[in-house]
Amino acid sequence: MASPTLTSTPLADGFSMPAEWQPHRQTWMIWPERPDNWRLGGKPAQHAFAAVARAIAQFEPVTLGVSAAQYDNAAAQLAGEPDIRLVELSNNDAWMRDTGPTFVRNAQGEIRGVDWIFNAWGGLQGGLYFPWDKDDQVARKVLQIENLPRYRSSFVLEGGAIHVDGEGTLLTTEACLLNPNRNPHMDREAIEMAMREYLGIEKVLWLPRGIVDDETDEHIDNMACFIGPAEVLLAWTDDTQDPQYAHSQAALEYLSQQTDAKGRSLTIHKLPVPGPLYMTAEEAAGVDPIDATQPRQAGNRLAASYINFLFCNGGIVMPAFDDPMDEVARKLVAELCPQHRVIQVPGREILLGGGNIHCITQQQPA
């Protein structure tokens, strides 16, 4: 049975996006295979995604969308994992945060989903691949699988571009949401109004920039996130020579002067970035040079950040990069989120494709 498509908005119906640390029913992912993004035919990335799925499954069920061509391979790699369910799901690439639905909930605990228009991070003006038609269908299919009502938005947005505290406040970046390659017909005020309607939020906090060389036009989920009411974790470097320093400094200055939707001043915690990290010649050579909109080249700076983690039921799954900062970041997150057990999973193979653990997951609230 097809899930109903609603003509109203979540706000009008009393629905809003809950904070990520609130209870989940499950987490959604997509299996990677695109050879012009994932090196060596996607094999190293598949092992990395499987490790992430297993880590999440220690805390909550995982549903993994897999193309028909990769179904047997994924099933073999994840055999013996009772909490990981495979469903056949056509896709153009594996970024469930951005192509999957954003789930909203009402006071009675009912769940619905928002299906954003997806244009591969910029469409024909700087987007990362073409076509993206299968990816634009992912959210609708997920909601049909779960038999949940669907709101189809009238504008372009990716899940990685927004982060909420569940109490009326949303974080985003100007670099992404004000980029004319998403919604050139909408100004800041129109975008804020649309996010109020679809996410039930009251206030938008606009960080100027995100992580340097983040090919999503600097998604917020690589740069900053809420870890509790009025509490923000911010990607940080003390190296004044690193271009990231100016981005992080501008964000700190901005956030220090803001209050959340409830009028509270923000507590800001600095989470160090690794590296800088760069793509090696061997890694670049493993990517099929089919589509050169974002060529994978030796020496490319990688948009590495520990902010790109996922809250699970009682856990946090965060990336490690074989970097001296890995343990520093893990300890800090564990101290700041004592109700959660922090697990680190190797994130470099995911990073090579342009994102990390938060980018490849989408939580479905309980």
Q: List, in order of start, the domains of the chain with CATH numbers.
A: 10-365 (3.75.10.10)
Active site residues: 359
Could you tell me how far CA 117 lies from the centroid of its own chain?
16
pLDDT over 60 at 5, yes or no: yes
Average predicted confidence (pLDDT) for the chain: 96
The tens digit of pLDDT for each residue in 147-206 reads 999 999 999 999 999 999 999 999 999 999 999 999 999 999 999 999 999 999 999 999
| β-bridge partners, 193 | none
Per-residue confidence at 258, pLDDT binned at 50, 70, 90?
very high
Task: State residue 292's pLDDT score.
Answer: 55
Name the burial class of residue 200, with classes exposed (0-12), middle (13-18) and buried (19+) by CB atoms within 10 angstroms of its CB. buried
Instruction: Provide the whole-model pTM.
Output: 0.97
The tens digit of pLDDT for each residue in 262-292 reads 999 999 999 999 999 999 999 999 999 876 5
Name the pairing type of β-strands 315-320 and 84-88.
unpaired
Q: Which residues of 29-68 are buried (b: 16+ CB within 10 A; e: fewer)?
A: bbbbbbebbbbbebbbbbebbbbbbbbbbebbbbbbbbbe
The tens digit of pLDDT for each residue in 331-341 reads 999 999 999 99
Q: Which two tokens stand for residue 84?
A: 């990981």
The tens digit of pLDDT for each residue in 118-139 reads 999 999 888 898 999 999 999 9
φ, ψ of residue 84 to 5 degrees: the values are: -115, 115
